Amino acid sequence: MENKGFWKGSRRVYRTLIVVCAVLVIFSIIAIYLMNGEQLNVQDSNAEYSTLPDNGDPNRIVDGIHVRTGLVEGEGLMTVVNNCTNCHSAELVMQNRMNKERWISTIRWMQKTQNLWDLGDNEEIIVNYLVTNYPPVEKGRREALSDIDWYQLKD
């Protein structure tokens, strides 16, 4: 008898708990939606985003690009991601075009002044990745205007 009463009581508690949890979950979803509503909407309407399989892999590569950082796929990619995108973004890496010597001196500067650790054998891997995938481009003293977006001028 006592046992039965206990189970009855605990089932009630259990049910109440489930209701409380459900309410919490619903409220959280509503809150998150309100905070990010516009953003979610943008993604919904963008087929490119919704069809991408999000398999939860932070290092997935799509069309030769490491999605999280934008770095191109190549030998040494993950060494670069792991050592060069902690303090600053990968954009800073990609927009700087240097040869081997200047990359090494940049690494020394970061080690001396910016708390970059000793890269050991990874240094060669990193520098090789950079000079192979992001080599300097000769620009001369003044480049021609390019990527001009032509349009009709309205008064």
Per-residue contact flags (x/-) with another protein for residues 106 to 125, judged by CB under 8 A:
x--x---xxx----------
Count of CA atoms in the C-beta half-sphere (13 A) of 153: 1
Burial of 48 (0-12, 13-18, 19+ CB in 10 A): exposed
Largest CA distance in the chain: 95
Among 102, 124, 131, 133, binds another protein (CB under 8 A): 102
| Contact code string over 51-90 relative to another protein, x by CB under 8 A | ------------------------------------xxx-
| Using rule CB under 8 A, residue 98 touches another protein | yes
Question: Count residues contacting another protein (CB under 8 A)?
Answer: 38
What is the distance between the alpha carbons of residues 98 and 83, in angstroms, rounded to a whole number?
A: 18
8 A C-beta contact, residue 107 and residue 49: no
- Say if residue 133 is exposed, middle or buried (CB neighbours under 10 Å; 0-12, 13-18, 19+): middle
Which range of residues in 7-15, 56-64, 73-81, 131-139 is near another protein by CB under 8 A?
Answer: 131-139
The DSSP letter of residue 66 is E
12, 50, 92, 100: residue in contact with another protein (rule CB under 8 A): 92
Positions in the binding site for another protein (CB under 8 A) = 31-32, 34-39, 87-89, 91-92, 95-98, 102, 106, 109, 113-115, 136-143, 145, 148-153
